[in-house]
Structure formats: structure tokens, C-alpha cells
Chain A
Amino acid sequence: MLKPGSAKKVSIYVGEDHQYHGQSLYSAILDFLFYRGISGASVVRGIAGFGADHHMHTMRIERLTENLPIKIEFVESAAKVEELLPKLHQMAGTGLIDVQDTFVVKPSEESPKSAATGAAVALKREGKAKLMRILIGENDKWHDKPLYKALVEAMRANDVAGVTVYQGILGYGANRRIHKDGALHLSHDRPIMLSVVDEEAKLRAFAAILDEMVQQGLVVFSDVDVIKYTHEVPSAEKGAEKGKEAQK
């Protein structure tokens, strides 16, 4: 967070049409500043200007309206500016960057609403776990319902932490039949992958249930490191939450 006192003001001058990896340069720079935690930045579009190549860019002549000058400006501490400059230097290409000493009289403040959401601190949990992947076909059935749906329901019922179902566009498996998402066929049998992360013991226990449900497919385990972010429910609300869970 920016504090009152001495700071640096950085201005970057580029052209509106300049590109950076297939994206407009000024928005790429703005994204970079945003994700690197800069407290604020502005983009201003000029109405006329010229640069090192002495091409006049102006709004007054229709033909020259393209590539108007863009200025991206932000104020940050000297240390932060130092940290970001090498990347900005590389991104700016032919553009100009200038850094000035400045004095912050009053930093901008977060609006009260966003400050409140920030109060719910995400808890970070780390540890070893297993990743289970189940590869089946979209048309596989279990008791007349799609197998992937049945598996998700079975996992919920068995308290497995979470599962995601992915649909492939092409593939083949054990029976050598190509599963394909053909535009002209109405019958699809696309490959399906379910991906589950949980403790090894839980997944091993669930594997026994899988034996009964999966008639054809592949199940593989691999080791993963879990980094999980959860929101701690304040203790007062916890009781109420539990009550709700019970009602469900």
C-alpha cells in the first residue's frame, strides 16, 4: 500500500496500436501492473503526438487517426518501481519510459466495501495427497444413468473432497474404438476424465466402489502436493452453518 511521503511517478509512452504478444500493448502493461500489486495506474489517450520515428499521429486528419499516443502512469515506492522496471523496459518496445521523484500527499484508499471482503482471510493448507484420474466414455452407463454422473454422486455420498469432470474431443482406449466429437454425428461418445484429489486412504476405499461401477476404463493414481485455500467460517456462524448442513 502506498504511504504518504516521497515516491516515484512512472510514465510510459506507447502507441495505441502497438501489440504485445497478440494483445494491445497498453492493456498488457496495465494487466502487468495490476497483477504485480501496483496500488493504481491510469491510461490516458492523447489526441495528437509524435515519437522517435517522427510520424505525426493526430485526430484532425482521418487518415492519421490510427496509433494515437497512449500514456500509462502510476505512482509507487522506489523499491517497487525498481522491481518492475526491467519487465516494463522489455514490454515497452520502442516506447519511452520516464521516472520522476514525486511526493504523495494523500494516497488513494480502498473503498470500504472491498476492504470488508479482504477481512475474510483465506487459509492456506499444504500437504501430500493423491490425485485419481478415471478415464471412461461419455456413453458409459451405470443403472441407466451416465456413469460420470453416477460416479460424481457416489463420490459425494462417500465424502470425497471434490471432483471435476472433463470432456475430451478425441481419443481411444482399451477397446481401440475412437471416441470422437464429430460435428455431423448425432451420437457422441466422447472421452471423459474425472479428476479427484483427496487423502490416499479415502481414494483407496473408494476404489473398491469403483470396481463395481466401472465396467470399462482406466483408473490411475499419482502423488500430488496440495496447496489449498479455504475460508474459515467465523465461529459464531459455524453453528448456523452446521444446522443448515443438517437440514440438507
Chain B
Amino acid sequence: MKLEGKATMLRIHFGEDDKWHGKPLYQAIVEKCRELDIAGATVFRGIEGYGASTLIRKPHHLLSFSHDAPVMVSVIDSDEKVRKLIPQLDAMVADGLIAISEVEVVKYVHQDGARS
């Protein structure tokens, strides 16, 4: 797999508790990315935020056991591949935000079996 020069970054924002077919949405998205042979995907958990539903998402709210922290999935690959992912995401993300931006890949290295 090779990735260089201009590429596209896609970011999906939603809540940690969002589900897709009974499994965490963020996990389902990462699996979908693998299925589509996307170069990589990373899930980040935020500590506070609000979004489409304007509910304040606070994971460590005092005495509250609800843990709906904001989650962001970040994907970087060629524009063509990322755009292939969008229709699939449309079906999966019910309440959230998807944004794309242009990036320039400066370095992309992977060594097969180096860290197995």
C-alpha cells in the first residue's frame, strides 16, 4: 500500500454510546474501514463536548454513570478511497458530523512483520 502527496482526511464525530447493530459505532466504523481496505483509522475519545443533539457530553460527570463521551474517528487515505467510504457511513451514522479536508502526506512507512 502506498500513500503520498495529496490525500484526504475524513473525520466523523459522534457519541461513545452510539451503536450500530448492537456494537459500538466506532468499532463498526473501524471494521468497515478495514473491509474497504482503507489505509488506517484512529478513534479518539474527547473529555467533553456537545454536538448535533446539543447535549453536553461529559464522560466523568460527578456521580453520573452515563459515559457518553464525544468520539472522533479520523481516516486518511486517497480521495477516491475516502469517497467510497462516505455512502457506507451515511447508513451507519445517524446522529453526528462527517467532515473532510485536504492533507499532504509527508511520510508513510510501514514495515511488514516488524512488530508482530
Contact = CB atoms under 8 A, between A and B. Distances in A.
Interface in A113-127: none
9 contacts: A133-B103, A168-B45, A171-B41, A177-B115, A207-B107, A216-B114, A217-B109, A218-B39, A218-B107
Interface of B: 1, 3, 7, 9, 26-27, 30, 33-34, 39-45, 50, 53-56, 71, 74, 76, 101-112, 114-116
Interface of A: 21-23, 132-133, 135, 137, 139, 166-179, 191, 193, 207, 210-211, 214-222
Residue of A137, A171, A219 contacting most chain B CB atoms (<10 Å):
A171
A50 B42 CA distance: 53
A218 B40 contact: yes
Contacts, number: 111
B105 A215 contact: no
A178 B44 CA distance: 14
Per DSSP, chain A at the interface is: strand
Contact of A219 (B53, B108, B114): B108
Contacts of B76: 135, 218, 220
Contact of B43 (A133, A169, A214, A220): A169
A173 B40 contact: yes
A193 B42 contact: yes
Contact of B107 (A176, A193, A214): A214
A218 B3 contact: yes
A148 to B, nearest CB: 14
B39 A174 contact: yes
Contacts of B9: 220, 222
